[in-house]
Structure 1
Amino acid sequence: MINIIVAGFKGKMGSTATKMVIENKDFSLVGVLDPYAKESNLNEMAEFSEIDVPVFNEKEALVQSVDADVWIDFTIPAVAYANTQFALENGIRPVVGTTGFSETEVKKLTDLSKDKKIGGLIAPNFAIGAVLMMQFSAKAAKYFPDVEIIEMHHDNKLDAPSGTAIKTAEMIYAERGDHQQGHPDEKESIPGARGADYKGMKIHSVRLPGLVAHQQVQFGSTGEGLTIRHDSYDRASFMTGVALGCEKVMELDELIYGLENLL
């Protein structure tokens, strides 16, 4: 049995993760964390009325009260780094779906995990289909080096571009390397019209109500085009990957970036 904490349990992703842990026969939910929660136990919430799990406002109090193997984090970018560092320092394996980490932050956390010999996972996207989309895109880039990424999310998402889009661009760059695309003399009549630039690739971020998580990787070549797209219509689509991450980190002795590295 794997003992699990969920940080950010009141958010949409955190709530979905909490339900997944409760329903998984191999997992035991030992505590949940939210700094603004008024409840002291999950059973005070209608949707968890039969679940006896303590609620904590402070992570320090949480680790003093419960014994956990895995820390699932679906919080916000402003606190996710500190939470992940705290989990590692306290011997808890982080499984992090919060995005917005910089390369420097990921390296610091990876180095810390190696020092502590504790496994962990930071995944920009936990949907298996999204991971395949990134892998297929990287493969396609060998033959279609001209590419743009359009990512679309709900209007409450705080970071842009999405972690998935950045990870996709990194994987494409690892395959195609430096490549000049588009007209070298193009001009934006409105700043930002061409989107963000990652090593020559353009990334466009859409934020609208009604969306969940969607990404389209569009390739163009002489006389043909290729579009690779993934859509998450429900947050439940991420839970297979989250559950897999919780199981796999128990076997690791360092933090891994990207679910694709565990498949």
Structure 2
Amino acid sequence: MLKVLVNGACGRMGQMVVKTVLADEEMELVAAVDIKAQEDVGAVVGAGKCGVAVSDNLDKALEDSGAEVMIDFTRPDVVYGNVMTALKHHVSPVVGTTGLSKEQQEEIRQAAEKENTPAFIAPNFAIGAVLLMVLSAQAAKYMPEVEIIELHHDKKLDAPSGTAVQTANMIAEVRKAHVQGNPDEKEKEGYEGARGADQEGMHIHSVRLPGYIASQEVIFGGLGQTLTLRHDTTSRESFMPGVALAAKKVRSLKGLTIGLDKLL
């Protein structure tokens, strides 16, 4: 049985992860952590009492629980510290919280190698979203003019989304670097930011509205044609198979692995 600690256990994603771990015959929930302590996390998520109280002290929970893996769905402003704390305790982090900078990812990579404890980060755990990223990289080889539109719920704290950033990174790896549009004339924005963020010569547009969970469009333009690839998340349940897969495989990896596509 894989011993699992869930960090952010009382949040929207955290509750779903707790239910997934409790229902999986190959995993054992040994600890739950959230900013507000609770008597029993099973009761919190509506799965019935399970005997695991929610702690508000991650460091102590990692030390006392014997966890092998920490699944983190918390906040962008605390996830880096959570990951470094887990690695210090030789617990492998599986991270679904986005917002880590390239510099932070590199520091996590170095810490994972130093502590000989593998770590895993995924911008998106939905299989369909991973396929969207892979297919976008394939399409970009033939249609390099591309823009990305990502749409999320209005409570999401970071923009652009980790999925959009990873998609742009994967596209940048396969296409020649260039600036889209007319290189001889600078675009004029009537309102600052109207063209979205610029990453590797691609524009990324972030939408935040109630009603969405997570969606992304990747639009390619060519001579006399466009190609649109889109993925929509209609339920957070879509993330759970990927989370479970990463939790079960992370201990067999080395250093830091980024992206669920590496496990498929």
TM-score (norm 1): 0.97
Which residue identity lines up with residue 197 of structure 2 in the other structure?
Answer: A
Structure 2 distance, partners of 1:12, 1:101, is 20
Q: What is the Cα deviation at residue 10 of structure 1?
A: 1.1
In structure 1, what is the equivalent of residue 96 of structure 2? Answer: 97
**What is the number of equivalent residue pairs in this alignment?**
262
Q: Please state if 1:171 is matched with 2:170.
A: yes
In structure 1, what is the equivalent of residue 200 of structure 2? Answer: 199
Q: Which runs of 5+ in 1 are unaligned?
A: none
In structure 1, what is the equivalent of residue 34 of structure 2? Answer: 34
Q: What is the Cα deviation at residue 254 of structure 1?
A: 1.5
Q: What is the Cα deviation at residue 186 of structure 1?
A: 1.8
Structure 1 distance, partners of 2:74, 2:35, is 10
> Which sits farther off after the overlay, 144-153 or 111-120?
111-120
Q: Which runs of 5+ in 2 are unaligned?
A: none
In structure 1, what is the equivalent of residue 150 of structure 2? Answer: 151
Moved over 6 A (4+): none
Whether the 8 Å CA contact 1:30–1:54 is kept in 2: the answer is no
Structure 2 distance, partners of 1:72, 1:32, is 10
Structure 1 distance, partners of 2:232, 2:42, is 33
Q: Please state if 1:18 is matched with 2:18.
A: yes
Percent identity between matched residues is 47
Deviations 1:129-166 (A, max 9, x none): 11110010011111101000000000000000000000
Whether the 8 Å CA contact 2:63–2:89 is kept in 1: the answer is no
Whether the 8 Å CA contact 2:19–2:45 is kept in 1: the answer is no
In structure 2, what is the equivalent of residue 109 of structure 1? Answer: 108
3-state DSSP of counterpart to 2:177: coil
> Which sits farther off after the overlay, 113-122 or 188-197?
113-122
> For the aligned residues, what is the CA RMSD?
1.1
Q: What is the Cα deviation at residue 14 of structure 1?
A: 0.7
Whether the 8 Å CA contact 2:15–2:45 is kept in 1: the answer is no
Whether the 8 Å CA contact 2:96–2:122 is kept in 1: the answer is yes
Q: What is the Cα deviation at residue 179 of structure 1?
A: 1.4
Pair 1:46–1:199, CA change in 2 (3 A): closer
TM-score (norm 2): 0.96
Structure 2 distance, partners of 1:80, 1:50, is 28
Structure 2 distance, partners of 1:46, 1:123, is 24
Alignment of 1:46-85 (within 5 A): 47-85=46-84
In structure 1, what is the equivalent of residue 6 of structure 2? Answer: 6
